[in-house]
Amino acid sequence: MRIVSLILAIAVGAGLYFWIIERERTLAFISGEPAGAEAAEADAPQDTVVETPDTADTQALVKVVARASVAREIDNAVILRGQTAAAREVEVRAETSSTVISPPLRKGSFVEAGQLMCELAPGTRASTLAEARARLAEAIARKTEAESRVPEAESRVIEAQARIDEALVNQNAARRLSEDGFAAETRVKNADAAVAAAQAALEGARASVTAAKSGLQSADATIESATASIATAEKELDRLQIRAPFSGLLESDTAELGTLLQPGSLCATVIQLDPIKLVAFAPETEVARIEVGALAGARLAAGNHEVTGKVTFLSRAADEMTRTFRVEIEVPNADLKIRDGQTAEIGISAAGAKAHLLPSSALTLNEDGTLGLRTVDDDGVVAFNPATVVRDTAQGIWLAGLPDEINVIVVGQEFVTAGVTVAPTFQEQTQ
């Protein structure tokens, strides 16, 4: 059984070989006609022209379609997509606790810088201010009294010093008389006691001077405390009137009448739209071409409104997530027609450059993965030219970094490599 299976397998394999690999010979053998080259030689007329080597090489060349392109000067603007943003936006919040006693201003209203938006009830703050002022007056009076006590205490020191001097003279005289036997011992003791009393009086006078000066310093501290209390009370009264920090539009209603505001509670949101900012994010490949002060234009998506301005800010640090750099452009908006958050297509002027307008399908990669074009010279030899994308438009893609005149392979560039000779067919550039 195994031998039969092996024979059948060999027979099937041989049949498949002759039917697939030697199909022409097999069919010719079955039909009785000459096969392959023999049939061609048999049917060929005697006057057939034999191909020359040059003709054979020409027919063997790869055929490609090329286009002659000449570089043109273009405005090398940086095209970005961004949105409008208010120049300033502030949430004005309360700094103290109280109820609103002013009628609300409705959102959309225009407010001037310093205009009252929310007024709060004063409560007992006026009484606190009056109390602080009374304490200041009392402290000033105490200081005056303390200042008058200092000279008095100093005069007592002088008087005590004079008494000490007198007591010392009496003590010296009593001792000499006692030594000569003209005075009793009790007189000397009385003189010593008088000196000690005078010294004690001097120390007391000096303590009075220190106490007077301490009282003066205490009065100064009381004055400073009262002054601080007055400033705090006056600041609390100022916080009762919440005013607009700058001229702008109310993005929300101010706090309703009777609302209790705590420190940090929102009174209103104010935005400034004149001038307005255009905010975009430039990629790493384009940021080096943007400079602060460069002219810029933008087309707003809503209403096809076009505006112009200047670049006022270019970030030095890239966004950690997108690796892009923030660009801000200031645009006049006196009529306030431009709103916050509108989408805008932005063009920032940069140095002009020469570029070729070609179809994006002509781009290819070389063996190293470099983006560029395959070109052909007058002898039909293919070369690879690296290219830089300047701008992508509906008509094609603008490429820089190329010679001024080139023959670009637009069809078949993927099937040839640099150094290969091809048979190009040229087409006219329609763009």
Please list the alpha-helical segments (H only) found in 89-184: 125-180
DSSP 247: S
Strand partners, 83: 279, 343
CATH for 68-74+353-427? 2.40.420.20
| CA 41 – CA 52 distance, rounded (Å) | 18
Structural domain spans, the chain: 2-48, 68-74+353-427, 125-238, 268-348
Q: Determine the pLDDT at residue 318.
A: 92
- Which amino acid appears at position 323 of this protein? R
pLDDT per 10-residue tile (average), the chain, 431 residues: 72 72 69 49 41 49 89 82 93 94 93 94 91 88 76 74 75 70 67 75 76 79 89 92 94 93 94 93 88 90 83 93 94 90 89 83 89 91 89 83 90 89 80 48
Give CA–CA dist 148/138, Å, rounded: 16
Q: How many CB atoms lie within 10 A of CB 139?
A: 20
Three-state DSSP at 123 gives coil
User: Which fold does the domain 125-238 belong to in CATH?
Assistant: Helix Hairpins (1.10.287)
Residue carrying the six token digits 């043109």: 72
CATH number of 268-348: 2.40.30.170
Do 298 and 329 meet the contact criterion of CB atoms below 8 Å apart? yes
Structure tokens at 413: 């560039």
Largest CA distance in the chain: 184
The structure's pTM equals 0.53
Length of the chain: 431
Bridge partner list, 388:
400
Residue 307 makes CB contacts below 8 A (sequence gap 6+) with 278, 297, 298, 300, 331, 332, 338
Q: What own/partner pairs with CB < 8 Å and gap ≥ 24 does 387-391 have? A: 387/363, 390/74, 390/76, 390/353, 390/355, 391/74, 391/76, 391/77, 391/79, 391/355
Tell me 415's DSSP state.
G
Is there a common fold for 125-238 and 268-348?
no
- Check residue 40 and give its pLDDT: 42
Give the span between the Cα atoms of 403 and 257, in whole angstroms.
74
